[in-house]
Amino acid sequence: MHIISRVLHAKTAPGILLCLSAMAALIFANTPLQDLYAGFKNIPVVFQAGTFIIDKPLLLWINDGLMAIFFLLIGLEIKRELIEGHLSSREKAILPAVAALGGLAVPALIYAYLNWNNAVAINGWAIPAATDIAFALGVMMILGERVPTPLKVCLVAIAIIDDLVAIIIIALFYTAEISIQSLLLAGIGLTIAGFMNWRKVTNLGPYIVIGLFIWACVLKSGVHATLAGVALGLLIPLKAKNEDGKAPLKVMEHALHPWVALGVIPIFAFANAGVSFAGITMETFLQPVTLGIMLGLFLGKQIGVMALTWLACTLKICRLPQGVSWPQYYGMALLTGIGFTMSLFIGTLAFTDVEMATPVRLGVLSGSFLSAVAGITILLLTTKRKVGT
């Protein structure tokens, strides 16, 4: 038990669990356990209160419900970073903002170029634009103290901006038919949360209750329910202090982080990463959707991050973090190609046809794997182990 406790408290634990969850999903999907795996994802789960009913298979409860908690944490992190963190000033924000812009645009362009003539496939243009902050940082943490701290901070800042833009993309491009009534009710809930923030209400209980109401309304509105988590996260007080002298936002962020990192994300990965290799050939990898995602993540991310960073540094708009070399920065740029959780999630929104699940998952897994291996290799070659570690 002591060994298990040490593993769960290690900084690399989220990345390790994510890898294990993905491997477990692949094993279940490619062994006689595949029927059990499919049955697990399709377990019917029903919640009803009067005439209000939510009837979804377990997979959608995970993608719409558990991931709302993940996005709540993202909302909290974005607010904290914008107000007092790595993105709180122009000097701090300009480099990760420029890098994130390149890392978003180039992968999307590569995917769009390869799928331009397919009206259905083109909907997945945003899949390779996302970075999995937990996985990418977890991979970097495996290298320990040999990686300069400013480089880790830069990766986090890029991923935070990346997630913010991904949220906007989901809201604008992956929204179904709108229910005005449900959206108005969600708006009322957000107004109440905003009023509580203005009145400096520091008890998190009322925010959680109103957050559940907002989530249910957004779920029924046609806008993706995970956006409710982001919106609520932005309304949790950061400046006000509770009776213990702590900011409610930091209290909630601290409380949610282990549950999200060690629970929500691994469960999502297990439910969504299972790709059956039956019938998969080299032609499958060369399908435009698979190829677009794989090349978008592996090539697009590194090209976009490096090209715009180099241009911005050449024009003296920004500079590399202190103590970070260009080869080390390139290793970090490769790690931004680990799209995994966010890319798989956007893939579930982009395509409703189950036939598209395999090429999406294959593209995400292969692109993320190549990015992780290449990033680790470059960082190992460009950093030195500190004496005594």
Whether 5 is in a domain gets the answer no
Alpha helices by DSSP H, the chain: 2-9, 13-29, 34-41, 58-61, 67-84, 90-115, 133-142, 149-173, 180-198, 204-221, 226-235, 248-259, 265-272, 282-285, 288-295, 301-314, 326-335, 340-350, 357-382
Does residue 208 form part of some domain? yes
Provide mean pLDDT across the span 136-152. 78
Residue 387 covered by a domain? no
Sorting pLDDT into bands at 50, 70 and 90, what band is 176?
low
- With pLDDT > 90 as the criterion, what percentage of the chain qualifies? 47
Instruction: Find the range with the poorest average confidence among 57-71, 103-117, 139-153, 324-338.
Output: 139-153
Band of residue 5 on the pLDDT scale cut at 50, 70, 90:
very low
- Considering the domain boundaries, does residue 312 fall inside one? yes
Residues 210-237 have pLDDT tens digits of 999 999 998 888 777 888 888 999 999 9
Model confidence over 93-143: pLDDT tens digits?
A: 899 999 999 999 999 999 999 999 999 999 999 999 888 876 787 777 777
Tell me whether residue 3 is in a domain.
Answer: no
- The count of structural domains within the chain is 1
* Contact assessment for residue 87 and residue 96, using Cβ atoms and an 8 Å cutoff: yes
Check residues 251 and 262 and name the one with the higher pLDDT. Answer: 251
In whole angstroms, what is the distance from residue 95 CA to residue 92 CA? Answer: 7
For position 2, what pLDDT does the model report? 43
pLDDT at 310 over 70: yes
Does the residue 142 lie in any domain? Answer: yes
Which domain, by its residues, includes 30?
Answer: 11-382
Is residue 239 a part of any domain in this protein? yes
Question: What's the pLDDT at 10?
Answer: 53
- Greatest Cα pair distance, the chain, in angstroms, is 66
**pTM listed for this prediction:** 0.80
The answer to whether position 177 is within a domain reads: yes
DSSP 350-368: H---GGGHHHHHHHHHHHH
Q: What CATH number has the domain bearing residue 275? A: 1.20.1530.10
Between 158 and 388, the higher pLDDT residue: 158
- CA distances to 43, 145, 312 from 325, rounded to whole Å, are 50, 16, 16
Half-sphere CA count of 36, side-chain side, radius 13 A = 10
